[in-house]
């Protein structure tokens, strides 16, 4: 288990502690558990945003399927002989 020391403003800390105590409780380790959940949520959000940005970049690049070798759909079936 790692240790991270962070500095946050007092109002944010107070709100975080209040919500953590209401949601998780006041037992030993509850603040650490709440912090881990907050970090995980932030990581998932950032990952999803990165995935969305990558997908949009791919859409903007477009795809090259080559040139069209026929004028309309009937041209695809002209050369077929035989019956079904």
CA-wise closest residue to 38 among 63, 59, 56, 13 = 13
> According to the model, what pLDDT value does residue 80 have?
64
Mean predicted confidence (pLDDT) in 38-56:
94
Let me know: does 24 contact 34? Beta carbons within 8 Å: yes
Q: What are 50-84's pLDDT values in tens digits?
A: 999 999 998 888 877 778 777 888 877 766 665 55
What's the pLDDT score for residue 24?
92
Cα dihedral sign, 50-52-56-58: positive
Q: Is the pTM of this model over 0.85?
A: no
């Amino acid at each position: 288990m790692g240790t991270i020391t962070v500095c946050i403003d007092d109002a944010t800390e107070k709100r975080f502690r209040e919500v953590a105590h209401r949601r998780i409780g006041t037992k030993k380790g509850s603040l650490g558990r709440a912090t881990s959940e907050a970090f995980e949520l932030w990581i998932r959000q950032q990952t999803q945003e990165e995935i969305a940005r990558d997908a949009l970049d791919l859409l903007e690049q477009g795809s090259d399927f080559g040139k069209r070798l026929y004028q309309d759909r009937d041209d695809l079936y002209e050369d077929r002989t035989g019956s079904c």
